[in-house]
Amino acid sequence: MNQKKKKISFKQWIPFYIMGLPGLIYLFINNYLPLAGLQIAFKNFSYSKGMWASPWCGLKNFKFLFRTADAWIMIRNTLLYNIFWIILGAVLGVTAAILINEVVGKLKKKFYMTAILLPYLMSMVVIAYLVYAYLSPTSGLFTKALERWTGSAPAFYQETKWWPFILTFVNQWRQIGFGMILYMSTILGIDPSLYEAATLDGATRWQQHKKITIPLMIPTIVMLFILSLGQIFRSDFGLFYQVPMNQGSLYSVTQTIDTYVYRALLKTNDVGMSSAASFVQSVVGFIFIVGANKVVSRLDENSKLF
């Protein structure tokens, strides 16, 4: 009888296995099959010999990433921008989610949500030309307005001091919508009776968010924070390459690991070096995720990722 029940139970799950098969195939092809290419990072890759026949070169491909004169600049920029943006993104995302949740009326709420989310759906090429339309030295809207008000306007694409602020603004303007949606889903899952009880006790809206909303959002905030640390050694290539229009005078504040590897690849056509850089980024991201999850598990067992 038990064997028959097991067979029947297995047959009932067959349609679900078939439904999940395309996703599993995609996961294998996109995430696991490319792992064989990790060996390129340790080989002197030759197009004529191919990936498997190319000779091994040890850690030679990793040296260019750390021995170059720009090593400190690109690593510094990548880490500092990401650390600041992860913290700022969490603050702005939570704030936007709470404010949107306070909007009365479905149409108004949908309008504001769409307006905030729209930049996330835009191509970085389009965003780069929008930024240029405002900051262009000859016809930029913002540049011309400053020139009328003050009599002179800064050359944004020549002066490095402006770009940490410009890149931060563009990044948060584009990413805040995605973070807002994630945090909104958590707010919508909070039991309404908690707010009703707080209202009966005389709590203001700020007190309700301070004592109910934000504490219940902490697991989501921590989870997204840990996942963000996996990308701490990477950067948005379009943001750092296309938005500054690849201006050489701005490299000291816009050069990151991804843009440096891209430029090096254009000059040397060395696939092994670019693979080594990507390998280092993945390893560092993995270490940060595991380390952060370990720290979180010691502080709060329920908030850890795994």
> What does each C-alpha distance from 242 to 24, 130, 170 come to in angstroms?
35, 11, 12
Give the pLDDT confidence score for residue 11 in this predicted structure: 78
Give the pLDDT confidence score for residue 4 in this predicted structure: 52
Q: Which is more confident, 264 or 123?
A: 123
Which residues span the domain enclosing 225?
60-303
> Does residue 52 form part of some domain?
no
The residue-averaged pLDDT of 121-146 equals 92
> What does each C-alpha distance from 300 to 49, 140, 219, 295 come to in angstroms?
52, 50, 9, 9
Give the pLDDT confidence score for residue 105 in this predicted structure: 87
| Contact predicate 151/145, CB 8 Å | no
> Does residue 9 form part of some domain?
no
> Does residue 176 form part of some domain?
yes
Q: How confident is the model at residue 89 (pLDDT cuts 50, 70, 90)?
A: very high
pLDDT in tens, 220-245: 999 999 999 999 999 999 999 999 99
Q: How confident is the model at residue 70 (pLDDT cuts 50, 70, 90)?
A: confident
Domain count, the chain: 1
Give the pLDDT confidence score for residue 152 in this predicted structure: 84
Q: What is the CATH number of the domain that holds 81?
A: 1.10.3720.10
> What does each C-alpha distance from 130 to 108, 125, 135, 142, 167 come to in angstroms?
26, 9, 9, 11, 13
Question: What is the pTM assigned to this prediction?
Answer: 0.88
End-to-end CA distance of the chain: 38
> Does residue 120 form part of some domain?
yes
> What does each C-alpha distance from 116 to 36, 87, 261 come to in angstroms?
40, 19, 32
Q: How confident is the model at residue 193 (pLDDT cuts 50, 70, 90)?
A: very high
The Cα 142–Cα 138 span in angstroms is 11
The residue-averaged pLDDT of 111-121 equals 93
pLDDT in tens, 42-64: 999 888 898 899 999 988 888 87
Mean residue pLDDT of the chain comes to 90
DSSP three-state, residue 109: helix
Give the pLDDT confidence score for residue 267 in this predicted structure: 81
The residue-averaged pLDDT of 128-156 equals 91
Angle at 124 between CA 123 and CA 129, to 5 degrees: 105
> Does residue 3 form part of some domain?
no
Give the pLDDT confidence score for residue 223 in this predicted structure: 92
Give the pLDDT confidence score for residue 19 in this predicted structure: 93
Give the pLDDT confidence score for residue 7 in this predicted structure: 54
The residue-averaged pLDDT of 148-168 equals 92
Give the pLDDT confidence score for residue 97 in this predicted structure: 95
Give the pLDDT confidence score for residue 163 in this predicted structure: 96
Q: How confident is the model at residue 8 (pLDDT cuts 50, 70, 90)?
A: low
Give the pLDDT confidence score for residue 151 in this predicted structure: 83
Q: Which two tokens stand for residue 136?
A: 């262009």
The phi and psi torsions of 54 (rounded to 5 degrees) equal -65, 145
The phi and psi torsions of 56 (rounded to 5 degrees) equal -75, 145
| Contact predicate 172/92, CB 8 Å | yes
Taking residue 1's Cβ as centre, other Cβ atoms within 10 Å add up to 5
Q: Is the pLDDT of residue 5 over 80?
A: no
Residue 203 gets the label, from left (phi > 0), alpha (psi -120 to 50) or beta, of: beta
Give the pLDDT confidence score for residue 94 in this predicted structure: 95
Q: How confident is the model at residue 264 (pLDDT cuts 50, 70, 90)?
A: confident
